[in-house]
Amino acid sequence: MDTGTHVVMGFALGGLATLDPVVSGSSATAGSVLIATIIGSQIPDIDTILKLRNNAVYIRNHRGITHSIPAVLLWPLLITGVIYSFYPEANLLHLWIWTFIAVFLHVFVDIFNAYGTQALRPFSSKWVALGIINTFDPIIFAVHVAGLFLWAFGADPGYTFLAIYFSLIGYYIYRYIHKRRVLKAVKKIVPDATDIIVAPTMRFHHWRVAVMNKRQFFVGRAHKNHVRILDQFNRVPVPETPVLEAAKKDKNLSAFLSFSPVYRWECDEYDDYYEVRFIDLRYRSNGYYPFVAVVNLNKDLEILSSYTGWIYSEEKLRKKLEFIPGEG
């Protein structure tokens, strides 16, 4: 989920914790638990700081080790230890319990996004992404904010958020059922599909669709159970040419390939350089595919510049690339 949703979830868990008699019976415990649930709901995303280095490092590592099984066990111990040093009157066990719930819930809800997490590390480096809930879901965010307003105006926070979380369980189940219906609709259009990716958007009944069979890629959108194919591309295996093999050694392209399961590629030759481009097909927006990896190489196959990330125009892409065609 996005940072804002994780923040309101932290406050919500602090309110839910008041149903715990040990928490509600001690102001020190209640105060420390609220701080812990807010921090615990954020701490797995501390790897966002990697974006300050570069996109390649961020793409390779975001929602990786910080969302792993060891991290889910270690974060609560670390947070509890620090907070308890400031609140020695708090109940240590219940402080840890609610911190663990906050950290676990952060990782758990991230699994339902299309981006997913490597939550099974160290047993598996596979990305677990159920693709049911958008990274920012307006409904989930809104009901949390509504709950916080009710709390602020005197409603019991424990029962308020208990009711909200029960309703959200139903919401998740509905989203799962809806996605299954879209999958069935896609299979009717592409009956020989080998892989189907259905990803949510911010709009409630709208889904992104990317499909592969042995010969083609299909990209489309779904509204409710109606699927419309917008683009089709022939599947062309990436050849083992000297240019492409040299490009694959670039850190940005390597990071892209470690993350993207559905892409097409292009290789263009100009007077004094080559340009290799890989395009993720999952994120079509207004006829454009914004998630790319681009590598420029000179005629000696030395990397001149590269970029991976979200880009919405060729002009902006050229600004991201340090290399300017014609000046290499």
Model confidence over 214-263: pLDDT tens digits?
999 999 999 988 999 999 999 999 999 999 999 999 999 999 998 888 99
**Bridge partners of residue 309, in order along the sequence:** 292
What pLDDT is attached to residue 58? 84
Residue with tokens 């295996």: 237
Q: Give the span between the Cα atoms of 25 and 263, in whole angstroms.
A: 55
pLDDT of residue 326: 45
37 conformational bin, left if phi > 0, alpha if psi -120 to 50, beta if neither: alpha
Higher pLDDT: 63 or 174? It is 174
Query: In the block, which residue shows the tokens 């492409």?
Result: 244
Secondary structure (3-state) at 321? coil
Q: Residue 319: CB partners within 8 Å, gap ≥ 6?
A: none
Domain boundaries, the chain: 3-136, 179-234, 242-320
**In the predicted model, is pLDDT for residue 1 greater than 60?**
yes
Amino acid at 215: R
Q: Looking at the predicted structure, is the pLDDT value of residue 324 above 70?
A: no
- What is residue 156's DSSP assignment? -
Does residue 292 register a pLDDT over 90? yes
What SS3 class is residue 79? helix
- Alpha-carbon span 227 to 17, nearest angstrom: 43
Query: For residue range 170-201, what is the model confidence (pLDDT) as tens digits?
Result: 999 999 999 999 999 999 999 999 999 999 99
Does the pTM of the predicted model rise above 0.85?
yes
d(CA 106, CA 267): 40
With a cut of 90, say whether residue 63 has pLDDT above it: no
What does the pLDDT read at residue 115? 84
Percent of the chain topping pLDDT 70: 98
Residue 323 predicted with pLDDT over 80: no
Distance CA 25, CA 29 (A): 8
Residues 17 and 27: their CA atoms lie apart, in Å, by: 12
Which of 262, 318, 321, 310 is closest to 288 using CA atoms?
A: 310
E-only strand ranges, the chain:
195-200, 206-212, 216-223, 226-234, 263-269, 273-280, 291-298, 303-310
Structure tokens at 51: 């974006």
* Least trusted range by pLDDT, from 58-67, 82-91, 166-175: 58-67
Model confidence over 137-170: pLDDT tens digits? 999 999 999 999 999 999 999 999 999 999 999 9
SS3 (DSSP) at 288: strand
Gap between the Cα atoms of 303 and 296, Å rounded: 6
Taking each helix axis from N to C end, the angle separating 157-189 and 3-16, rounded to the nearest 10 degrees, works out to 140
Find, among 208, 44, 63, the residue nearest to 134 by Cα: 208
Mean pLDDT of the chain: 93
Render pLDDT for 273-282 as a digit per residue (tens, 0 to 9): 999 999 999 9
What is the pLDDT at residue 328? 39
